[in-house]
């Protein structure tokens, strides 16, 4: 067993880990390869981290795979990423199902090409009764898109007389987010040495512990995940209170 894994306190695991999988393009360029080569190798990391999270008993894993802004990348890269998504899901769905993993998708599915949306819907359906790890893929997702959508839908309900303005509280707002079924992430990891959120889960990360590593996504493996969890476990989460107040 990995020495790092042994150090993890199993009673203090985050329920929900969110990851900005960044650095595929640079990883490939550094090897003199095309950016798509990096995305291709990034899939191996996804497989490894999903497996590692499931083994640990993490309940929710959200992976930022494609942002609203990523649609503005060169067409060949966007198409390459969509094709990689479809072929990966096709290849992996059986093993996800066997491992009791339930797939979810958050993001603007209407933006996806039909063939990708159909493949995803099929995988969502196949895994819908699974009770193990919830694997949440953020695809064509951005925090601002999600919040805008929530505001519009709330306004619509108010207009129809189904909702009172006075009744709108955090619970109601939560219901209109695409993450309504999931607890907020306690730990957010970003790979590749960038220190920003890039429009990821803007509302849900309010009190997440942030962990940044220089490791590029295609090199990120279980041991890197364990390091992040150990770092998280050494933090004091105060939620606005003082340190003294936390000692009960």
Respond yes or no: is residue 72 known to be catalytic. Answer: no
The catalytically annotated residue of 34, 48, 70, 97 is 70
From the list ligand IPE, Mg ion, none, which binds 70 (C-beta under 5 to 8 Å, kind-based)?
Answer: ligand IPE
Shortest reach from residue 12's CB to ligand IPE, in Å: 27
Shortest reach from residue 76's CB to Mg ion, in Å: 17
Residue 174: count of CB within 10 angstroms of its CB: 16
3-state secondary structure of 143: helix
Shortest reach from residue 70's CB to Mg ion, in Å: 9
Shortest reach from residue 195's CB to ligand IPE, in Å: 10
Q: Contact between 22 and Mg ion (CB under 5 A)?
A: yes
Cα separation, 102 vs 139, in Å, equals 16
Write the binding mask 87 to 106 for Mg ion: x where contact by CB under 5 A, - elsewhere: --------------------
Respond yes or no: is residue 22 known to be catalytic. Answer: yes
Which residue has the closest beta carbon to ligand IPE?
25
DSSP structural state of residue 193 = T
3-state secondary structure of 79: helix
Tell me which long-range contacts 88-95 makes (C-beta under 8 A, separation of at least 24): 88/43, 88/46, 89/119, 89/120, 89/123, 90/119, 92/47, 93/122, 93/123, 93/126, 93/127
In the complex, the residues that contact ligand IPE under the rule CB under 6 A are 20-26, 64-67, 70, 81, 192, 194, 196, 198
- Residue 139: φ, ψ to 5°: -130, 125
Residue numbers at the binding site for Mg ion (CB under 5 A): 22
Query: Which residues participate in catalysis according to the annotation?
Result: 22, 70
């Amino acid at each position: 067993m990995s020495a790092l894994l042994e150090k993890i306190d199993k009673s203090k695991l985050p329920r929900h880990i969110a990851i900005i999988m960044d650095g595929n393009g640079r990883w490939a360029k550094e090897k003199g390869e095309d950016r798509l080569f990096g995305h291709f190798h990034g899939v191996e990391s996804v497989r490894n981290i999903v497996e590692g999270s499931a083994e640990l008993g993490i309940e929710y894993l959200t992976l930022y795979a494609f942002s609203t802004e990523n649609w503005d990348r060169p067409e060949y890269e966007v198409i390459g990423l969509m094709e990689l998504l479809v072929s990966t899901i096709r290849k992996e769905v059986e093993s996800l199902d066997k491992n009791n993993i339930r797939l979810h998708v958050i993001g603007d599915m209407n933006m996806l090409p039909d063939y990708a949306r159909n493949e995803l819907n099929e995988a969502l359906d196949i895994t819908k009764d699974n009770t193990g790890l919830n694997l949440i893929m953020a695809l064509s997702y951005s925090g601002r898109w999600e919040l805008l959508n929530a505001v519009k839908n709330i306004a619509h309900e108010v207009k129809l007389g189904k909702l009172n303005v006075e009744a709108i509280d955090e619970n109601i707002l939560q219901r209109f987010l695409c993450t309504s079924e999931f607890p907020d992430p306690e730990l957010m990891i970003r790979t590749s040495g960038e220190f920003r959120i890039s429009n990821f889960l803007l509302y849900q990360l309010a009190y997440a512990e942030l962990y940044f590593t220089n490791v590029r996504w295609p090199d990120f493996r279980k041991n890197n995940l364990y390091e992040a969890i150990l770092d998280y476990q050494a933090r004091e989460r105060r939620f606005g209170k003082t340190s003294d107040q936390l000692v009960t």
